[in-house]
Structures are given as structure tokens and as C-alpha cells.
Structure 1
Amino acid sequence: MTLPDWAPASADETAVWQGKPRARIVHWGVVTGVLVAVTVLGVGGFLWRSGAIGLALLAACAAVALVGFAMPAGSAYLWRTHTDYLLTDAALYHRTGAVWVTVTELGLEKVQNSAYSQGVFGTMFDHGTVTVDTAGSEGAELSLRALDDPDDVHRLVAERAGVTGSDESIPGTIEQWRAVLDEVRKLRTVLRTE
């Protein structure tokens, strides 16, 4: 897999996965736009038939309905077409923006945790959000939203970052844990005597 032109990745990085928000996100924008437009036109038509507004205000309602359709439909389309995700063997990249382009790079060595979430519709139609956290971050450092098969993407990011949770070992040495046990015993003795 070749690196896209927008990626600031180094020449020795290899692309592991590329993705975009799901195409159906645009459909939701169109449905929302249609509902807004129909509502505005319905109210305008009702007011015009009842004689409350004239033909000029009915034309203004039609213009508002057109804008009411274009805003959610157009913004969903622009967001989907100008958002890209890239996972390489060294970093995770998120590119967004049509006019002002922002590229966020998150080195895989900094990843502390990753998770994915799906709402009710996400569970029904298999889409969701993958969040990636770094040590010391307030909340999610990077969110890959509206992904198809978020569990697969989450698993791939976690494996590449080495946070799969498959390490069953307990941190620390036996001597360190014996020292902790000795301190707990001393504390228990002090608490019993008081």
C-alpha cells in the first residue's frame, strides 16, 4: 500500500491501513436536509394558503428551504470527502479540511490506550468511532469517527501500538512486590494497635 500525497510520513514508513468516514454519513445529511426543507416549505405553504403571507414571503421560504437542505447535506459531503485516516507502521494520521487542512500525527510509541464505541445504530449497521489516547492526555487524543467495522480498525491500531492487552504479566519484580507486602503488613500492625 502506498502512502498518500498528503501524509507527512517519512520515506521508510509503510502504510498499513487507509480509510475515510463511511459514505452513508452523506445520506444522513441529505435526509436531514430534506426534512428541514419540507418542514420550511410546509409551514410557508400553510401560511400562504391561509393568507398570512404574500407571494414574496413564500419565495423567501423557498430560499430558506434551499439553504436548510444545502447546509446539512453539503457539510456532510464536504466532511466525508475531505477527511482521511492513515495508519503506518510508525504513526496514526488524521487529515481533515477543505480550505484549511489540518493533519494530526500520533506516533504509535505514544499510544497508551485505544477503544472503539458504537451507538444503537452503529451496532445495527456496524459503524462507530475509534479513540486513541496517549499518556497524560485529557480524553481522547485522536478520534476516527464514522468508520465501517470499527472493531477491526481498533484491533489493528492496538496491535500496531502494542496495547493489545494480551500481556498477562504483572509489572515489577518479585523483590518490589515483597517490599510492598512488608509495608502493608507494617501498616496493618500499626492500625491494629491504635
Structure 2
Amino acid sequence: MRKKTEEKKEEIIKAAKEVFKEFGFEKASMSKISSKLGGSKATLYNYFSSKEELFFEVISIANAQESDFVHQIIDTKNETLDIHTQLYKFGKRFLNFVYSQKMVEIRRLTISQSEITNLGRITYKNRVLKSREILSKYLEKAIKFNKIKKTDTNIAAIHFFGLLESELMYPFLFQVDTNFSKKHMDEMAVRAIDIFILAYGV
């Protein structure tokens, strides 16, 4: 039964991906996805409560490899804890991922839809908070190894991400210029992490 359930979920995601690609997020609908799937909307809603939830799932799967690559450097199962090197690598990977062309487009769509749909809340809960939680756990381990000061690691994680995007956020929000080179973003990550280490390092 579980295998059939997973297979059906995969079918739904595949159909949704095709509909989103053809119509875009705004013009896509659960009706169009169920028609593409060849089933009822009731079946669709058994797996996903909304178009926004399904869209997030499609995007997450499409970007899973890049997201895993970003976060694996601060995997707490890693026995080594070279905090400087790991945070530098994480920061560089994070900026190059979230400010890639496709992610910039997805983030702008998410922001524009936040007032009229649940897409923003879904993304915040399942992407932003989970990423913050991973970093917070890493920082907890860093405290145990006396690599950073004892602190509220959730707040420290918020500060970390804030520093990382500090040179990019306003240009991104006002669509002034986000066409930064990898070298430029790497340099911004280094500056941000230097400040973080000055504030939280032992």
C-alpha cells in the first residue's frame, strides 16, 4: 500500500510540474493538475492541501541536489569541526544557490504571492526555518567544542543569515542589480562570516 501511495504522489508531482511549466504558477490550478493526472480533485487533495503546497514540493524536488550540497558542509554528523572553513564554505554555497537566476525568480514569485496565497508561509516554514534549524544545531555543536561563545544558537543563526545577505537584500528586493559574479558573492560571504566570527567566536 505504501509503495502505491508513493507512486501516486510521484505521479501527482510529475503532472503538477508539467502544468506549472505550461501555465505558470498563477494560472495553474488544482483542476488543471487533476485533469492532467486523469483523476479526481479529491485524490489530489488527499496528498496536497493546496496548489501552493504542491508548487513548493515541485520546486523542492527540482532543487534538492543543490540544497543538499549547500547544507552538507554543516552536517552535525561530521566529526571534524573546522568552524572557520565550514562556515566560509557554507556561506559561499548558500549565496551562490539563493542568488542563482532560477532561485531569484522563485523567491520573487514567493514574495509577490505572500499577500494573496499561502506560498510565503509554506516556504518560510519548510525552507527558511529548516535551514536555520540545521545551522542552529551546527552552532550548538560548535559551542560544545568551544569554537564559539555560549549563546542562543537560533538567534545566532538569524544573525548569520542576515549578515550573509546584508549586501544583497536591498538590490534584490528593489530589483536594482542582482547579477553578481560568483567571485563577488564569495567575497561578500567572506566579509559576512568574518563579522560573525568577530561577534561570536571564542
The normalised TM-score by structure 2 is 0.23
Q: Comparing both chains, which one has the higher relative contact order based on Cα–Cα distances under 8 Å and sequence gaps of 6 or more?
A: 2
Larger-Rg structure = 1
The normalised TM-score by structure 1 is 0.24
Structure with the higher strand share, 1 or 2: 1
